[in-house]
Every structure is written in C-alpha cells, then in structure tokens.
Amino acid sequence: MPTIDPEMLWIVLGLVLAIAEIALPGIFLIWLGIAALLTGLATLATGMALAAQLGTFAVAALATVQAGRSVIKRNPPKSADPLLNDRLARLVGEQVVVVEAIEDGLGRVRVGDGVWTACGPDTPAGTRMHVIGHDQGRLVVARSG
C-alpha cells in the first residue's frame, strides 16, 4: 500500500480548504488553507516531525487569520444592499400618512401596512408626509410638498 508523504497531506488539505472557500460563503477557510500550504512547504523543505508540523500549522493559522482580518478591516466587502438590516433607514424618502396626529412633536404614521411612531411638526391625522430620517427608533417626518 503506497504511503502519502506528510507534506503532500498538508498541501492537499490546503487546496481542499481553498476550494471549500469558493463553495461555501464566508472568508475564513482560505486563511486556514494558506496555513496548511505553508506547513506543507515547510515540511517539504525541512522534513520536520509531526509535532513540529502541528505547531507550524497552529502558528501559521493564527498568523494568516490575523492577516486576513487586517485585510478585510482595511477593505470591507461592498454590500449590494447596505441598508438590508436597517429598517428605519430603508424608509427614508417614503411617503406616509399621519394616522394619529403629531402633537408636541410625536405621533404615528402609516407606512405600507405598518404604523410607526414619528416625530416632526404638529400635523393633523390624514396629512401626507415623507420620511426624512430616523432618531431613537422613530421616523422623522416632514410635510410633503
């Protein structure tokens, strides 16, 4: 039965992790793949023992993951929808109807099929307004026109 050299196992593991990075969402496996490839190359060059290989992989994994975090922090991925998880920000620019008069700066407005607390100028119920911002979980509205 043929034996597989340890350096080839590390290199194959590195390639498998790199391929898995392509198939799976996220940006993490590639750094472990690079660490495995570096371990394989170091093992190929020095013929180190298993304990040294595991130590080398651990150090390389920590270093490559930290380097990856630095790269991503400096160059954050662009989102196709940056407001995806910010419901209030997504409503800026929407037309609304006051359903509970805005008095002393607070009232309620209808947005689509929902009703939201709003702040803005005193306005009677039934008035059309538009959302110009949000503050502390409330929509900030102004008169349309």
Q: Which tens digits make up the pLDDT trace of 77-127?
A: 787 877 778 888 888 999 999 999 999 999 999 998 899 999 999 999 999
CA distance 96 to 115: 9
Question: Would you state the structure tokens that stand for residue 110, as one six-digit string?
Answer: 């209808």
Tell me: domain 87-143, CATH 2.40.50.140, correct? Answer: yes
Nearest to 111 by CA among 138, 84, 80, 83: 138
Strands 138-143 and 95-103: unpaired
Nearest to 39 by CA among 10, 68, 8: 10
Question: How do the domains of the chain map onto residue ranges?
Answer: 6-74, 87-143
Share of the chain above pLDDT 90, in %: 71
